[in-house]
Amino acid sequence: FVAGETAFDKYKPGSSIQYTVGNHLDDIHFSTELPPPAAGKVNLEVAKTIRGLDEEQARNLLNQMQFTIDGEKVSGNTFKNFTNNGDGSYTASYQVQLSIGSASSVTKSAEELMSTTKVEGYKLTEVSVSINGGAVKIGNEASVTIKDQGSGSIEFENTYEQETETMRIVKVDERNQ
């Protein structure tokens, strides 16, 4: 919001200037996304997708998870826009606008701290990551290079399977002994 001089500010009795009052509003928008970055800034989004758990388990897991994003520890409970993807997976994201000074680009990193990914009764079968929606790679850390006034994303995905145990049952027929 910017207030600026208007014709009314210059009005003097007997002048031919009409009475006008106003403010200058520019680039107004409402969104759940970060605004486009200004010069010297970049947007970074870190997304987390969880497969193989129900919605409550996925939310609980996300809340206990920890990440290191651009060198800072970030809790999963700060991730927003928790979404049921309709295919048995759930996604949430963390968005931040970072200053890069006068550099033309910058490399930012994110890591999922594996010690915070445990779910009782389930085993973690796959941990993968992709950068800017590109090829999926096995791993729990990645870096993305972002140009000044640009955006980049790092997407983590964990797949869980319910643990099962094998049980052997032997029937003993005492009549045959």
Task: Return per-residue pLDDT of the chain as tens, 177 residues.
Answer: 445 555 555 556 666 655 555 555 556 666 667 778 889 999 999 999 999 999 999 999 999 999 999 889 999 989 999 999 999 999 999 999 989 989 999 999 999 999 999 999 999 999 999 999 999 999 999 999 999 999 999 999 999 999 988 788 888 888 766
Q: Which whole-number Å values give the CA distances from 110 to 95, 104, 147, 160, in the listed order? A: 12, 20, 17, 21
Query: How many C-alpha atoms does 18 have within 13 Å on its Cβ side?
Result: 2
Helix (H) or strand (E) holding 36: none
Yes or no: say if 93 and 86 are a contact pair by the CB < 8 Å rule: no
The SS3 assignment for 160 reads strand
Q: What is the pTM of this model?
A: 0.75
